[in-house]
Structure 1
Amino acid sequence: MRNVRGAKALSEYLESIGAPISESTIFTLLREKKIPHQRPAPRILIFNLDVIDEWLGVKS
């Protein structure tokens, strides 16, 4: 399972695969509950990159 912690790390990953999304857009998507994530504690965000790839429609 591939995970990253935080919106900045997710933004960097998305940039690296050619699907750039800014941190501010990620936070907007989080508020709208439109991006898959886990929040094990109030200020901690975990993104499973396999799930993110699926959400984007990227084939592994």
Structure 2
Amino acid sequence: MKKILTVSELASYLQVSTDSIYAMVREKQIPHIRVRRRILFNTELIEEWMRSKAQISI
């Protein structure tokens, strides 16, 4: 997997819409990097973020 993902690539990876990704960015719910007008995601930080959000279901 690439080290840096775009909004579209992350949406595809997480199987959510790009609108959902933009909403999470806007609400500061997901780690991201802004480079001028681009929003980018470090895959290591995203993996860590997903582990921290994971819940055990019984």
Whether TM-score is above 0.5 comes out as: yes
Task: Report the equivalent of 1:10.
Answer: 10
In the TM superposition, what is the alpha-carbon distance from 1:21 to its structure 2 partner? 2.1
RMSD: 1.8
> Is 1:22 the counterpart of 2:23 in the alignment?
no
Q: Which has the higher contact order (CA 8 A, sep 6+)?
A: 1
Q: Structure 2: which 5+ residue stretches go unaligned?
A: 53-58
TM-score, length of structure 2 as denominator length: 0.74
- Max Rg structure: 2
Q: Percent identity?
A: 35
Number of residues of Structure 1 aligned to a counterpart in Structure 2: 51
Task: Report the equivalent of 2:55.
Answer: none
